[in-house]
Structure 1
């Protein structure tokens, strides 16, 4: 399956071109385009010494708008100067690519600068990799000369686009028919494209237009990035889940759940648990989140003593149906407890306790829960309830 290459649009990007044209030493700025890609995602800058340099502006827009970050632009222009010097010296550009990884992997790099790891969702982010290496720790000691973290990101996305040998994407089937296809390159790091949201949005839109039904993206492992038609049959979903379920234990596993893009941001798709494959997907979600939240709790527990873990349990309702749900424990002995968002909160009380739906606590006792600042993924501080509040929680309990 071939898909035309994505390029970016927008009047603010046109203003950015004019900004570059006025930059000292730049004689012209051209949009790189082809018959299949009449718009643009890469610019070619010609300097007064005859040097030509390509610039990918994808990483220059802010997270929630299409505005160009001028401060970031200045850093990129510094990188261009370094790249020009490298080109004049016959040196190759820095061989880096985006590296999309899970929270459990990224948590060990929490002390890095913000540029070292960029979050894409609550459970997925990307850093920079040197060829087949693990995450590159961008600091003054090991950065290539002339490059900081942001400049390395720009270089990484430019290198990623260069892995395209043609002006189109050739998605490949996974052996489950045309409703499940995968990104074929760069080999061993196919999920790097998950970090390139404009490209991913274009591919999702293209596939959806071709089929007339929505498609989602599943970043299963570092080398498995799936596109799935939401109209896939139960048999196709079942076979795909057979492949996805083991990946949460893989070292190169990411977060094997369906995602879509809304307003330029990745959003995890709601799961319909009315079907067998939907229930399997929900169980997989609980397992993946348990791994992520408990990796976070392990790190936080090294410096804090009120960190609750995230657990899954199966609840049988009065109609005999079983439901897999998540819960966090709120010990009676702690004045406050740091918890991840879960389906249920278990408030200890003496030798027993009460299991209360999260939303019930938020609706009836909102002052007990407060989101913690600067914690990723989000965690919440839960206050120890008073005797009267505990009585109300017991009324709300399951």
Structure 2
């Protein structure tokens, strides 16, 4: 059986994701779709709208056959580390190809760009490093290096625009694949409809996940997002609200985060991953004077520290993820199975002896720093969703979800 791999967050699953899953399978002539999905905290440094189990169910009902979890340390990392972890897992799962959405929509410019950057790798990396040290955000530093070294020289073939968010991530997938020497063939699909950060437009069925979340939190109702998600997803979102009353957000998690910052103080905060340059003092000061998350971010955000960079720090503070934790978790060491269809189950049975990493169905059967930390993160997420009656120990109690 031939599998195509995709990297997802599904926060929440929407019609654009459905197009991605089904089109990736068709474009690569694959028998099934394998998704590597972030867990309960995401790459932009925020809690997921709904937990990984519910998002897994949404995926399996809408074109995905196997869902593996991207470990916390990769799911909440910067773009290169996020992409590297995901590609390593897709390769370990035996995918013949991987497919990502991009603003560009064709693979040749990515291949050309990667080839040209590789030829000036040292100079390119140094320019990015210098820009970041000067206070520039990583995406801007990347685009500056690209514009200086690549865009300004004559290209024999078209190169990709690395100022656009999905193109940037796609480039890092390609870079990671080259780094590990995978046999997976790359493919890309054009991103449809709304841009990554666009608000929803109600005369189209496609909206970005960012726009959908914003629409919900502004209107406090799922009714206005129904047209942008498959029917099964809409039902799941409403069932979630019926049981838990709220979706995951920093506004909801902030009271616990604030307590942790005030309890730990600057000295402890300085040991947390991504907390650098004395910002722990500002974080502590902001927590003392800010009653809401928006107030807190208003105190902390600056040109030097982007919203996303700060949120990643806060995610690590919330979960207690230290520099020492990160050092103990290098390359992914297992395939954490969250769910499968009957086709996905057949694939695992067929490929069992060929997979490069062990498939872990329940964490009770596997011991590693990465797996153990993921379990604690799930419990902390549950406290943020419902501090009174948190659903604890799900990583040890819930078996892989089965559909179809």
Scaled by the length of structure 1, the TM-score of the pair is: 0.24
The structure where helix makes up a greater share of residues is 2
| Greater relative contact order (CA < 8 Å, ≥ 6 in sequence) | 2
Report which of the two structures shows the higher radius of gyration computed on alpha carbons: 1
Scaled by the length of structure 2, the TM-score of the pair is: 0.24
